[in-house]
Amino acid sequence: MANYYVHDSTKHLTLIGNGCANKIFDTTLVTTAVNRVRKIINAVSYGLVPDTGFYTSTVFMGMGQFNTSQLNKMKQFIDSVSVFVAQGKIQWKSLNEIYEIWNTDYKNKPFWIQCAQIPEVYSVINISSIPEGFYNEVNNSLNMRDTVTAYLRSTASPYSIVDSSKRKIDSLTFTGSFAFLNANSGTYYIALKHRNSIETWSISGGIPFVRPSIMSYNFTSAQSQAYGNNLILKAGRYCVYSGDVDQDGVVDAIDFSLVDNHAFNNLTGYINTDLTGDQIVDGSDLAVADNNAFNFVIKIIP
């Protein structure tokens, strides 16, 4: 076994296999070991830990304790995580393969995390929302995935912020999984903020929230899903109003002039005046701002 632990001091590898370790003893329940794997998969998928690298996890038995009972547990563990392997969420790698990933694709660095650092108790709301300008009616998709911040707010004045979560809304499902670490069970408003949309709150009176659980809320299914019915219908889907470039809660001549200026200068890229999400500021963005300014679109909150 010793060879597996030899470190080549001429290579820049200094750390390997130091992820959340699963030690399987005679007394260890297989479900405990499997749940450890499930926890880190969930934490990655909900953005609670970084998803820009990979987590190496060692699964092993105590030295000198290799016996039939442990061998059987190891087999059960391997069978139990095969569902995650099939989903592409985990992979079996040799130490050599992990080293090669580290060596040839340095930007995808392995993370180091203790089992105890993986968040365990939190709630998730799968929130569906469409920024009006980003919605491509022909493809029934968003022109880009973009980041939205969801706040949980008290239903009693002054409607203070209880928790928040930032996720990308998927361009095909119009949904993001927002994890909330702090909020206790109760009734809250969801307040959605997006970089160039009108801030939009959930249905009057708030929504029930259970910790821990997985819930969903859909801002696209009906106009009444937003406080004050503050949504616009576009090709059968309700969208949050676009055009609040300066994020002051109103779409007006100031937003229009910001878009106008950038359109005149042919600006491109990830900029807030791109109301359609196609990375270009032009007449189509102006049309959205113009229309919503003309219609006095404002945020409507309790």
The residues that touch Ca ion, with contacts defined as CB under 5 A, are 244, 246, 248, 250, 255, 274, 276, 278, 280, 285
Decide whether 163 or 199 has the Cβ nearer to Ca ion: 199
Q: Residue 249 CB, nearest distance to Ca ion (Å)? A: 7
Q: Residue 128 CB, nearest distance to Ca ion (Å)? A: 23
**CA distance linking residue 240 with residue 231, whole number of Å:** 5
Q: Residue 153 CB, nearest distance to Ca ion (Å)? A: 21
Q: Could you tell me if 126 and 207 are in contact, meaning their C-beta atoms sit under 8 angstroms apart?
A: no
Q: Residue 166 CB, nearest distance to Ca ion (Å)? A: 21
Q: Could you tell me if 123 and 179 are in contact, meaning their C-beta atoms sit under 8 angstroms apart?
A: yes
Decide whether 67 or 261 has the Cβ nearer to Ca ion: 261
Decide whether 43 or 289 has the Cβ nearer to Ca ion: 289
DSSP letter, residue 145:
-
Q: Residue 127 CB, nearest distance to Ca ion (Å)? A: 23
Decide whether 88 or 269 has the Cβ nearer to Ca ion: 269
**CA distance linking residue 144 with residue 131, whole number of Å:** 10
Decide whether 33 or 289 has the Cβ nearer to Ca ion: 289
Q: CA torsion sign, 205 to 211 to 215 to 216?
A: positive
Decide whether 100 or 248 has the Cβ nearer to Ca ion: 248
Q: Residue 73 CB, nearest distance to Ca ion (Å)? A: 56
**CA distance linking residue 125 with residue 120, whole number of Å:** 16
Q: Could you tell me if 129 and 139 are in contact, meaning their C-beta atoms sit under 8 angstroms apart?
A: no
**For residue 242, which of 112, 119, 167, 142 has the smallest C-alpha distance?**
142
Decide whether 165 or 230 has the Cβ nearer to Ca ion: 230
Q: How far is CA 42 from CA 2, 39, 51, 177, in A?
A: 34, 5, 11, 11
Q: Residue 291 CB, nearest distance to Ca ion (Å)? A: 14
Q: At what angle do helices 30-45 and 68-86 cross, to 10 degrees?
A: 30
Decide whether 61 or 148 has the Cβ nearer to Ca ion: 148
Cis peptide leading into residue 212 (ω within 30°): yes
**For residue 287, which of 250, 233, 235, 242 has the smallest C-alpha distance?**
242
**For residue 255, which of 271, 269, 265, 243 has the smallest C-alpha distance?**
243
Q: Residue 111 CB, nearest distance to Ca ion (Å)? A: 36
Helix intervals (H) in the chain: 30-45, 68-86, 95-104, 253-264, 283-294
